[in-house]
């Protein structure tokens, strides 16, 4: 469904009252609390509210088709100084993409399995290249597709309720939505560790890992939003100053050490292998409780996903965001063709037996030739940005 974009109402003229009423109805529809995404203009701010609280604000294709043109419209609007994105319900910013719909589509070869990834990645790129300051209030669960709606923007505000993860290797996918861009750019090998194990970061640790830019107590977010809307001159510097002032006043978890601090030396050495087999060998040879725990986690993941993910991050480390998203689109379609994505979704989200039967079942059975094939251009079907 084509998105309805918000435009200022024209001045009433006798001959176009009908258009004015229709325009009003369009705007009302977009701010109706039953809509999956709410698009509003308050002061100088364009506000995007993900509004599927029962689904933890998981993003679907119709939401993407509303958000993308709206960002493009606000970007050109001289009266819009910044864009804010947030979620409703108090539990999640956005728990990911609408995986169930993609699974159903992919099984029957429905075009949605192409369209969803193409349009989602195009939206990720629009956020990454947005000319207006973009502020994501990542309060609550922020995983997968929710990371793609936030991490590429100028500012990401975490709270004590934030839970970040890229858990895709557990469902036969890979950390997409530009994961190949931002993960290898985190300090040391932290991004590789998060990508391969799906480890969850919580609260202030999301800031300490370099994923969030600021930390604000959850209860202060309404006041922060009000102050952002009230800014008279919304330069990136002004917004940064305001966010910094809230950040400095936030007390939650201030004294806690970074959860991965004590393991950083091991993460940096053990996850620096050039292949998955090498990383596994490093973990086995190390033999520490930390290494054994990571080995147990990695052994549950799709071997195909692990190999695709490691190469995705190694290549993405020196690519532009646009080239990474084009590469990831090729990988998404390779995953739609193979069995592991459907099996992972079955085991984790549908039957919930947590016992996926991966094909192939071992890393050494995933050949370099197969991995190479997944990265090959798709010709006229490639993502164009």
Residues designated as active site: 97, 145, 168, 176
The DSSP output letter for 170 is G
CB atoms within 10 A of CB 283: 24
CB atoms within 10 A of CB 33: 8
Determine the distance from the C-alpha atom of residue 282 to the mean position of all C-alpha atoms in its chain, rounded to a whole number. Answer: 30
Q: Is the dihedral of CA 129, 130, 131, 137 positive or negative?
A: negative
Determine the distance from the C-alpha atom of residue 156 to the mean position of all C-alpha atoms in its chain, rounded to a whole number. Answer: 12
Helix (H, G, I), strand (E, B) or coil at 307: helix
Q: Phi/psi of residue 351, each to 5°?
A: -80, -25
CB atoms within 10 A of CB 108: 8
Distance separating alpha carbons of residues 191 and 253, to the nearest angstrom: 23
Burial 329-347 (b: 16+ CB within 10 A, else e): bbbbbbbbebebbbbbbbb
Distance separating alpha carbons of residues 254 and 268, to the nearest angstrom: 25
Please, where are the H alpha helices in the chain?
A: 17-30, 61-76, 99-107, 112-128, 145-148, 179-182, 190-197, 204-208, 221-230, 236-249, 264-270, 276-286, 289-300, 303-316, 321-337, 340-345, 368-374
Q: Phi/psi of residue 163, each to 5°?
A: -130, 115
Residue 225 and residue 163 in contact, taking contact as beta carbons nearer than 8 Å: no
Distance separating alpha carbons of residues 71 and 77, to the nearest angstrom: 10
């Amino acid at each position: 469904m084509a998105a309805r974009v918000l435009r200022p109402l024209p001045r009433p003229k006798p001959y176009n009252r009908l258009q004015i009423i229709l325009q009003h109805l369009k705007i009302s529809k977009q701010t109706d609390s039953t809509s999956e995404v709410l698009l509003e203009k308050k002061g100088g701010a364009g506000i995007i509210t993900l509004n599927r609280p029962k689904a933890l604000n998981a993003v679907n294709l119709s939401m993407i088709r509303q958000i993308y043109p709206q960002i493009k419209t606000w970007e050109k609007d001289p009266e819009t100084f910044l864009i804010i994105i947030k979620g409703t319900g108090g539990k999640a910013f956005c728990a990911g993409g609408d995986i169930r719909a993609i699974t159903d589509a992919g099984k029957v070869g429905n075009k949605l399995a192409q369209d969803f990834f193409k349009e989602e990645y195009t939206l990720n790129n629009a956020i990454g290249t947005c000319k207006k300051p973009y502020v994501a209030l990542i309060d609550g669960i922020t995983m997968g597709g929710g990371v793609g709606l936030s991490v590429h923007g100028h500012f990401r505000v975490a709270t004590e309720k934030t839970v970040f993860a890229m858990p895709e290797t557990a469902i036969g996918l890979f950390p997409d939505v530009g994961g190949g861009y931002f993960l290898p750019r985190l300090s040391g090998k932290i991004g590789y560790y998060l990508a391969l194990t799906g480890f969850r970061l919580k609260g202030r640790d999301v800031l300490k890992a370099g994923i969030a830019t600021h930390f604000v107590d959850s209860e202060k977010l309404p006041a922060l939003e009000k102050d952002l809307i009230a800014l008279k001159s919304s330069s990136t510097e002004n917004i940064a100053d305001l966010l910094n002032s809230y950040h400095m006043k936030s007390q939650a978890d201030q004294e806690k050490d970074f959860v991965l601090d004590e393991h950083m030396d091991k993460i940096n050495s053990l996850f620096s292998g050039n292949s998955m087999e090498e990383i596994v060998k490093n973990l086995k040879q190390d033999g520490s409780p930390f290494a054994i725990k990571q080995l147990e986690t990695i052994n549950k993941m799709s071997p195909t996903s692990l190999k695709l993910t490691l190469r995705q991050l190694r290549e993405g480390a020196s690519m532009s965001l646009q080239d990474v998203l084009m590469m990831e689109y090729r990988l998404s379609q390779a995953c739609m063709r193979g069995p592991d994505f459907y099996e992972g979704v079955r085991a984790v989200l549908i039957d919930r037996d947590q016992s996926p039967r991966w094909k192939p079942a071992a890393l050494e059975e995933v050949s370099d030739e197969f991995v190479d094939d997944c990265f090959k251009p798709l010709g006229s079907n490639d993502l164009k940005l």
